[in-house]
Amino acid sequence: MRQAAAAALFAALVVAVSVAALAAENLEIVWHPARLALGGVGWVHVKSLSDDAMVEGSAAGRPLRFFPYAGGHAAVVGIDVETRPGAHPWRVAVAEQGRTPRTAAGRLVIVRRPFPVQRLTLPQAMVDLDPATERRAAVEREALVTLYRTITPERLWRGRFTRPVAAAEPPTGFGARRILNGRPRAPHTAVDYTAPAGTPVVAANSGRVAMLADFFFLGRLVVIDHGLGLYTLYAHLESASVGVGERVDRGQTIGAVGATGRATGPHLHWGVQLGAARIDPLALLALPVAD
Ligand SMILES: [Zn+2]
């Protein structure tokens, strides 16, 4: 009796294991890279699928948004800077005409990376906001959050991303823990390029201008929608030379470096957002996507 139960359990396990192996065999999925750091950007490739396949999935609790790519489908994966390090589940589901739907799942390893600590001293009047300014800043933050929740269903970018400004020094500051006049603040989720006022700022890739505004903290800014939840933000501009809704190409001038908003000197504050994830712009520049 006990033997029979053990045999039944063994048979069930064999079935479970072969179902898992079958699912893995059925879908050929490659992660580039296999591990991602906090703020990191990578991509996942589901190979050998028809262009009209329906592909959906998630990784580390965030949706993956797929587009046809290199004989299969791909999605950009962005890891928010404040994600908990460790192994996070991912899953992918594929439906193709005339075929049984297929799924696959696994774990994506997210690793820690060191972030600098920046101590800044500003005139106390710029740090302590009056209630009206406090409200204004809150409304502006909310406008960005709302924009980033808006998902354009097609990919508007192509190929590699380009740096948005010709600066002599490499940019700094992504993920920096900021201590402002002795008090800890939210991490800095962009990079800062120091450049003379008036230096042209260019679009990192093709897309559509989604926002043009003048914010208390970020000053004059442009946000470009690259589709499928990917946005780039260019802030503290002296001037902007594009209009809302305008299509832009990679490398097209969209404005000029300035020191508008709360800035200690002329620089470009460049941020990248993928859905709700705040990601490292330098990781986006290194994204090895050919087309
Ligand atoms: Zn900045």
Q: How far is the CA of 58 from the centre of ligand 1 (A)?
A: 30
| pLDDT tens sequence for the chain (291 residues) | 455 555 554 444 444 444 444 444 479 999 999 899 999 999 999 999 999 999 999 999 999 999 999 999 999 999 999 999 999 999 999 999 888 999 999 999 999 999 989 888 888 877 788 999 999 999 999 999 999 999 999 999 999 999 999 977 889 889 998 898 888 888 999 999 999 999 999 999 999 999 999 999 999 999 999 999 999 999 999 999 999 999 999 999 999 999 999 898 999 999 999 999 999 999 999 998 888
Length of the chain: 291
Separation between Cα atoms, residue 230 and residue 278, nearest integer Å:
10
Assess contact for 173 and 39: CB atoms under 8 A: no
Q: Tokens for 96, please give them.
A: 């193709």
Q: How far is the CA of 145 from the centre of ligand 1 (A)?
A: 17
Q: How far is the CA of 159 from the centre of ligand 1 (A)?
A: 26
Query: Looking at residue 138, what is its pLDDT?
Result: 96
Query: Looking at residue 5, what is its pLDDT?
Result: 52
**Phi, psi dihedral angles at 3 (to 5 degrees):** -65, -40
Separation between Cα atoms, residue 233 and residue 204, nearest integer Å:
10
Are β-strands 86-95 and 72-78 bridged in parallel, bridged antiparallel, or unpaired?
Answer: unpaired
Q: How far is the CA of 212 from the centre of ligand 1 (A)?
A: 17
Q: How far is the CA of 188 from the centre of ligand 1 (A)?
A: 7
Q: How far is the CA of 75 from the centre of ligand 1 (A)?
A: 28
Q: Which residues of 220-239 are buried (b: 16+ CB within 10 A; e: fewer)?
A: bbbbbbbbbbbbbbbbbbbe
Assess contact for 109 and 84: CB atoms under 8 A: no
Q: How far is the CA of 20 from the centre of ligand 1 (A)?
A: 46
Q: How far is the CA of 228 from the centre of ligand 1 (A)?
A: 25
Separation between Cα atoms, residue 190 and residue 173, nearest integer Å:
7
Separation between Cα atoms, residue 80 and residue 175, nearest integer Å:
10
Assess contact for 24 and 104: CB atoms under 8 A: yes
Q: Please give the full DSSP string across 230-256, using - where no structure is assigned.
A: EEEEEEEEEEE---TT-EE-TT-EEEE
Query: Which residue is it, tokens 């797929």?
Result: 66
Q: How far is the CA of 128 from the centre of ligand 1 (A)?
A: 19
Q: Tokens for 150, please give them.
A: 């808006």
Assess contact for 41 and 76: CB atoms under 8 A: yes
Q: How far is the CA of 40 from the centre of ligand 1 (A)?
A: 18
Q: How far is the CA of 132 from the centre of ligand 1 (A)?
A: 23
Query: Looking at residue 93, what is its pLDDT?
Result: 97
Q: How far is the CA of 269 from the centre of ligand 1 (A)?
A: 4
Q: How far is the CA of 176 from the centre of ligand 1 (A)?
A: 10
Q: Tokens for 177, please give them.
A: 């823990």
Tell whether the torsion through CA atoms of 272, 219, 216 and 227 is positive or negative: negative
Assess contact for 117 and 176: CB atoms under 8 A: yes
How many DSSP H helices and E strands does the chain contain? Answer: 4, 20
Q: How far is the CA of 33 from the centre of ligand 1 (A)?
A: 27
Q: How far is the CA of 63 from the centre of ligand 1 (A)?
A: 27
Q: How far is the CA of 289 from the centre of ligand 1 (A)?
A: 27
Q: How far is the CA of 248 from the centre of ligand 1 (A)?
A: 23
